[in-house]
Chain A
Amino acid sequence: MKTDHHVQTDEELVLQVQSGSHDAFAELVRRYTAYLYRVVWRTYPDKSEAEDIVQDVFLKFWDTPQKFDSERGVRFKTWISRVAVNRAIDASRKKKPVPDYEYLLQQKLEDEDIPLHDLERNVKKMELEAAIQNLPERQKLALDLCFYEEMKHKEAAEIMDVSVKGVEALLVRAKQTLRRILGERQEDAA
């Protein structure tokens, strides 16, 4: 049976939020909370602080939805990602976060039922996470958006406010830096 259920686009929902619709706001929050949390956490790896940033970004949007102007041709997802990423970068500059890797591993263990005794694998994961966290800010962000959020280079470039070529250069440098960091660690361990 054919249903007449029209899924509203983000921009349609934003127009409704600008007219004061709380339901439209709720729909946008449900669509993007998990995504924004991942992006913010990867920039500022602290659970409670990342949650606060996501909440603050959405509430600011609720207070002044007119700040998003769809006529500029920017998608809502790109716009709100840029706001959240900038907030996370500001927070990490003010206070260096202490990453809670254990929390990450626990989440992963619960989710994929990985045996607890797989210690070596977990150590490698923590090494990888630490190496990524040690990347320069913009290299890390490019990697997070393009690799882990599977964004197109163009979209990542809009969020980061750089050219597409700039994103590609950052990705190349991120890979080189990661190769060096992980290579050094392996040599130290040997």
Chain B
Amino acid sequence: MNATTPNRRRLLRTAAAVVLGSLSVASLAACSSGSGSSSGGEASGSAEISFWGWVPGLEDLVDQWNEENPDVQVDFHRMTGDDGQKVEAAVDAGAGPDLVQLSTHDLPDYVISDRVQDITEFVSDEEGNYTAASWASVSFDGKVYGIPQGIGPSGMMYREDILAQYGIPVPTTWDEYLEAARALHAANPELYIANMSPTEFGQWVQEVSQAEGSWYSIEDGAWTVGIDDEKSRAIAERWQTLLDEGLVTTEQMWTPEYWALVNAGTIATISYAAWFPSQLALNAEETSGKWRVAPMPVNAGSSNQGDSGGAAVVVLAGAKDPGAAAEFAAWLNGADETQETLITVGGLFPSTTNGLASDALLQESEFYGGQVVNEVFIEAAENTPATWTEGPNFGTATTALTDEFSTVVNGEQTFVQALEKAQKAVVDDLKSRGLSVNE
């Protein structure tokens, strides 16, 4: 026994080490599999369509459709948590839904990897009902890949009481914004004009869009990456000044810590999209009646507003009856009868002409002192330049940018340096995918 035990034990230990060491490899393989779309022929007259989405109130609309359209029955699944990240794997495995709600930022990647279907033939006559910018966000290379569902025009929520108390006029330009920031912090060192959340890329995107910039553009059949362009650098310098002078807090948005700052009245303004006012009302109940909405400050000599991005309903690769799926999507987002529910229950800011004309949009809000806040956002939507272009590897761009910004707010580097690094990460990634990139 003495002779064999040590050897046997060593063998067992080594075996254990091999097994345990390889677990990390094993856990990953499940994540990756070749992409391929399943296609089956279902030629019967009635269709069943599965639809994943997150907008509140979709259940009611789906019920309404199912009642009116016995031939095309829709099965709705409410997306929660990280369901959005499961969609791609589900599509690749041939187990995805027929329709899914998607951020338009992510759409190019879906197109490039063949995870969505071209639905141009089914929906081209819908174009007239949608804003030009939203229709452009679902069109690539002359083909339509989805039906827009809501956009995110910008506005500035501000604490009317705080600005009034310190005699600071509501800033209308970014130059005035900097002055207001200095005046406010000088009057009361506990107060800050804004919170610069390093992880909330939507706030950054809306200012890039306002400045007529774009992270991606197409020139001579190749992608140009503009994360680090002149327009973005100007925004970087604006926030660098605010940061260096200690005029902003840098909490991560959506955390209890962030809402504590908001509720305590530490932050005087929040610039964000049209869907944000209802979130603010939900998370800062104590401050009801103290907020108002004004246009986001503009750049000198311009009246541009920005947009942080919209959503779309797209037909996924595995859908057996893309025509029926597209028909439902077009009804859901564009029919006259659905607009009110999408706006009031769903909290969407419409990308449709009939939605923008809907009375449902012009409700007074008690939280904002009786203001009709959407009047601001309707004007913002009209003043949003059409320069922003969606491009591939948006996930790489946001990951790189938020990682770099997190070290900026710690003082380890500047916003400009962060943009340089994010630009490089995105360009390298595009090249490694074999895409043509202008440099």
Q: Is chain B a partner of chain A in the same complex?
A: no
